[in-house]
Amino acid sequence: MSLSLPLILTTMAPATLIFLMSSHLVLMWIALELNTLTILYMIANKSHPRAIEATIKYFLTQALASTLIILSGTINYEMTGSWEITEMTSPTPLTMLTLALSIKLGLVPFHFWVPEVLQGMPTLPAIFLLTWQKVGPLIMFFLISPFINHNLVSTMAIMSSTVAGWLGLNQTQVRKLMAMSSIAQMAWMIVVIKYAPSLTVLSFYVYSMTVSAALLMLNKLSVTTMKSLATSFSKNPIATLLLMASILSLSGLPPLAGFTPKWLMINQLVAEKAVWTALLMLASSLLTLFFYLRMWYYTISTLPPNTSNMSRPWRKPTSKSNLTANTLATAASTLLLCTTLMKAATK
């Protein structure tokens, strides 16, 4: 992976630039395919049966989404004679494109692939999947946001937040809990994209930072299940505290950084007279808050029922600290003021 990482980055970076610099649907479709092929290699590189299974599931779902994207563009070209995504105003191709992008983002009812794929991935590809891979679909959502059916998008957002919280209530696999968190976070981002795209950008920035820190800390602590969280504090208290800061920031609790985007989104929805949407999103977020707090409780507020064989395990020599993970986790717990200032600067 270390030798192929520069090649992977040099493939994904130009694809991202295409999204930022072009509105031609075919070019954006090609950029999506480049990103998909790159992440497929990163998943399958481990050559483990679970990784191969995750690769196949991801390939099939992304192939379906890509087919719908190019089909919607073809229909729109027949109607308008243009491949520009900003001129896609007809209901049929616009709805098809919205559904295709929802598959890419893992929104309900197209969420089934997210927990299964994330469970079989190594840490670095998982971070790319939950952050970088979302950039292209979100940019395409941003370009069509003035024309999308807001009732459809709001319904999908509410369903995504509710289903993600519901499926996470009895989940014991930490990776799948992070997948449910991703589905819920994407729901918050798209519900407000028609009214205030800048809030979507702010939310994605904070989410990318905190979920990257959380996954890096989980990998450092070798945590895979809720049961293993109970012994993580005795092994590495600093890393565990930073992990909990990232988890609680994802939940949106003040005074952590994740609170600011959700607070501003609720204000925006109320200002746009979408009060019922705001109430339903808040109600559904209580379900996700439950499993976030359950992770916190298992990690910080409980002790394992058996005694450790090591005396003072937190003083034993540990592996070299991960500067990137420590920095991201610290930022996730302290950037509330900075994100507020960023929002004020965009006004």
- The pLDDT of 71-86, averaged and rounded, is 87
Q: Are 184 and 161 in contact (CB under 8 A)?
A: yes
- The pLDDT of 140-161, averaged and rounded, is 89
Please name the residue ranges forming H helices in the chain: 5-21, 25-44, 49-80, 91-105, 113-119, 123-130, 135-144, 150-167, 174-191, 197-221, 226-229, 232-235, 237-251, 259-271, 275-300, 323-334, 336-346
Confidence of residue 69 (pLDDT cuts 50, 70, 90): very high
- The pLDDT of 197-214, averaged and rounded, is 89
Question: Would you say residue 319 has pLDDT above 50?
Answer: no
Confidence of residue 314 (pLDDT cuts 50, 70, 90): very low
Question: Would you say residue 331 has pLDDT above 80?
Answer: no
DSSP-derived letter for residue 86 is G
pTM, 2 dp? 0.86
Torsion angles phi and psi, residue 24, rounded to 5: -80, 125
CA-to-CA distance for 71 and 78, rounded, in angstroms? 11
CA-to-CA distance for 186 and 4, rounded, in angstroms? 29
Confidence of residue 321 (pLDDT cuts 50, 70, 90): low
Domain regions of the chain by residue span: 1-122, 149-305+314-347
- The pLDDT of 129-158, averaged and rounded, is 88
Amino acid making up residue 281: M
In this prediction, what percent of the chain has a pLDDT beyond 70? 85
Question: Would you say residue 107 has pLDDT above 60?
Answer: yes
Most confident of 172-186, 252-266, 312-326: 172-186
pLDDT at 47 (0 to 100): 72
pLDDT at 316 (0 to 100): 47
- The pLDDT of 180-196, averaged and rounded, is 90
pLDDT tens across 279-298, in order? 999 998 888 888 888 888 87
CA-to-CA distance for 74 and 89, rounded, in angstroms? 13
